[in-house]
Amino acid sequence: MQALLYVLGMEKMLSPSREVPVPHALTTFLMRDDESELAITNSFVELEIENGAGTIVTVRRPIKEAGIDTRLVTVWFGPMLTEPSKTAASRQFFVRDPGAFKREDGFLHFLEAFIGWDMPVVRKYEGPEGKLPLETVFPLFWVEQKRGWSTIPAAIPTYMRVRDVQKRAVEFILDLDVHKLELQRQRLKERIEDNARNWTSVIDEMMRIARRAGGTLTGLPPRPTADTDSLERWTISLVQNDETVVIETLLAALRARVAVLAEAKVPQVGETADALTAELEELGKEIDARNQKRIEVHKARQLKEADIASLERRIAQLGEDLQKNQDVQRLQRYAGTAGNLTPDQCPTCEQSLVDALISQEVLEAVMPIEDNIEYVRSQLKMFEDILQREQAEQRRLEDLGAVATTEINQLYTRVRTIRSDLLGPSSAPSAAVVEERVRIEARIRDLEALIASLADTANRLHTLSAEFAELLNAGRLIPSDKMTEDDKHKLDALTGSMRELAEAFGFTTFAPKDLTIDEDSYRPQKEGYEIGFETSASDAIRLKWAYQLGLLELARKYATNHPGLLLLDEPRQQSSSKVSFGQLLEHAAKHRGAQQQVIVSTSEDIDTLSPILARLECKRIIFNGYVLQPVQPQTNA
């Protein structure tokens, strides 16, 4: 039976080791019926299999053949064992090496397609998602003699790093929608998170653009929303003469001023000399005031910087203290296993102690370590919040400083123009008036460009918002129940079959009608407690028969991924009584003719078997002596 697993490349179902999992009779020496030994010179396995579509292939894998690697599997696309004279196309595949399941030339890849399966994508403990390996599903219908009987429902290998591998395997065989739903939910969650990340980055970018232009952006929803109206309500405000002005108001004022300047003719310097002198004086005062302001801002910024540095120091210290407190908690918890590190009484004089290495008289009561950790955490949280606020204030001050500098520069430019006007001939046109108009026009252009560039970026929010609405919709479409109706029917049917079969097999630990199947682990349970081998060992075996035959029965009534094959190698484990063994065989025989096949191998006494088999309609192959026999040398008759 192990050779059958071997030829199908399923040895990893048994263990992760790289050994050939077949008995010595196939690798080193063979016992003949007369108990003499014969060394093995050449051995291989050939198996003919037929799938649901009626395609027959013959698979051959060497065990011991000079010059041929055991990782090589040959497949003939025809029934080469039943009709040896036939010829058929053949192809070679590899097994056991990485890629045997993923790559075109891998035999497991071929086997998956041959059975007609499409293995689901599952999450792994590390690395990317991958397909559910065939080795994790086979144990649900292929009970191998050595380890196969040790667990219910099946000895599914766990070393393949698949998360919740038992669940995934049963879900696949039953073709439940649970896992699909779970995957859908997970993917949806990831997409929503992605959407939120993109949203934040767009908002951040817009904030940056606005800040670079000396403005602040308000009114945008900080988190994704499906409400597109709220996306239109953003405004930029700029600081103008110490006041915050909305950009549209500012633009209107500037446009009005340009219109006035454009209407009026450019005056000569002589006409405006007095006004220019007065303006010059005014400008001087204004520059002083602005400089004063800039110095104040600068001082405030220096103070903030010192504050921030001290806050950061404080946070780092708190972080260290938190770490130490957590260490203390762990050390205390583990005291008692290795040794006590926090005595509550002095080991010498038996006086009671408080948990601190400072003078005991100083302290009234010491906070328990759990509270202390919470206390440090809340402090940490508070200081982190303060830091954030201070950093925001710092940025605001930086903006104010930058605005003051630009304003001072503009004032100086104006001063220079007026001065050159005043020094020039009095009949020349006033450059100061022209300069003002050019300056204002340039400012209008800058502001318009700012609005346009922000609107461009804001358009991306519309796309994200549409995507968000779509994701919310998709979320509503996924049923909130873990299982679909169909899933529940299947599970109920499986529970029913399992109860009936358990009863028929003589399960006695408790009433079979109390058996249920856990919706999370799909293991049999009673009143919420999983049943394993803590029941009597023979009852556990009966339960396993019932579960696995139940899976096969289910496949007749519902669409599942069960291959319709059940292989039980030595099912009479733990000396389960003859009655129940007979029952097992009877129930197994019922699957005949329903496009299903149950293969049972046993070394049971022929006298016991014969009366049972006589009642059944089945194909029996009886080996009198060892199953493996040397190949007779061909004689040319």
Partner 1 sequence: MPPESPFLKALEGANFSFTARPEPVAGDLRMSWGIAVVLLSLFHSRGKKASFLKLQFLAHSIRTEDSREQVHAVLRGERKTSELQVRVEPWLNRAVAFAHGLKYVDVSKGKTITLTPLGQDVAAAIDATSDVLHHERTFLTNVAKRATENIVTRIWRMETLL
Binding site for partner 1 (CB under 8 A): 316-317, 320-328, 330-332, 334-335, 337-343, 346-348, 353, 355-358, 363-369, 371-372, 375-376
- Greatest distance between any 2 Cα atoms in the chain: 137
Could you tell me which of 66, 62, 63, 85 has the C-alpha nearest to residue 74?
62
The C-alpha angle 458, 462, 464, rounded to 5 degrees, equals: 105
In the complex, least distance from residue 533 CB atom to partner 1, rounded to whole angstroms: 34
Structure tokens at 193: 């998170």
140 backbone dihedrals φ, ψ, rounded to 5°: -75, -10
Output the smallest distance, CB 318 to partner 1, in A. 10
Nearer to partner 1, 303 or 356 (CB): 356
Q: Which residue has the tokens 């733990």?
A: 574
Residue (334 or 412) nearer to partner 1, CB: 334
Contacts of 255 (CB under 8 A, 6+ apart): 444
d(CA 592, CA 4): 21
Nearer to partner 1, 299 or 324 (CB): 324
In the beta sheet, which residues pair with residue 525?
A: 516, 530
Handedness of CA 395, 400, 402, 403 (dihedral sign): positive
In whole angstroms, the minimum distance from the beta carbon of 319 to partner 1 comes to 9
- 28 or 345, CB closer to partner 1? 345
Q: Give the CA distances from residue 541 to residues 12, 532, 535, 577, in Å, rounded to whole numbers and listed in that order.
A: 24, 10, 10, 11
Minimum CB separation of residue 317 from partner 1 in Å reads: 8
Nearer to partner 1, 288 or 327 (CB): 327
Cβ neighbours around 585 below 10 Å, total:
22
Q: What is the DSSP string of 426-469?
A: TTSB-HHHHHHHHHHHHHHHHHHHHHHHHHHHHHHHHHHHHHHH
Rank residues 363 and 442 by Cβ distance to partner 1 and give the closer one.
363
CA torsion angle 171 175 181 186 (round to 10): 50
231 DSSP assignment: G
Tell me how far, at minimum, the Cβ of 239 lies from partner 1, in Å.
Answer: 22
Query: Residue 33 or 350: which CB sits closer to partner 1?
Result: 350
Nearest distance from residue 382's CB to partner 1, in Å? 14
Q: Which CB atom, from 268 or from 372, has the smaller least distance to partner 1?
A: 372
CB of residue 309 to partner 1, shortest distance in Å: 14
- If the CB atoms of residues 92 and 323 are measured against partner 1, the closer one turns out to be 323
- Residue closer to partner 1, measured from CB, 328 or 422: 328
Reduced to 3 states (helix: H, G, I; strand: E, B; else coil), residue 367 is coil
CB of 158 to partner 1, least distance (A): 24
Q: Which residues contact 615 (CB under 8 A, 6 or more apart)?
A: 586
- Closest to partner 1 by CB, 320 vs 446, is 320
Bridge pairing between strands 515-517 and 130-131? unpaired
Q: How far is the CB of 366 from partner 1 (least distance, A)?
A: 5
Report which DSSP code applies to 103.
S
CB neighbour class for 173 (10 Å; exposed up to 12, middle 13-18, buried from 19)? buried
Q: How far is the CB of 362 from partner 1 (least distance, A)?
A: 9
**Reduced to 3 states, what is the DSSP secondary structure of residue 156?**
coil
Output the DSSP codes for 322-346: HHHHHHHHHHHHHTTTS--SS-SB-
From CA 10, how far away is CA 108, in angstroms rounded? 8
Instruction: Name the strand (E) or helix (H) holding 61.
Output: strand 56-64
The minimum distance between CB 385 and partner 1, in angstroms, equals 17
- Which residue, 336 or 593, is less far from partner 1 as judged by CB? 336
The SS3 assignment for 518 reads coil
What is the closest distance, in whole angstroms, from the C-beta atom of residue 390 to partner 1 in the complex? 17
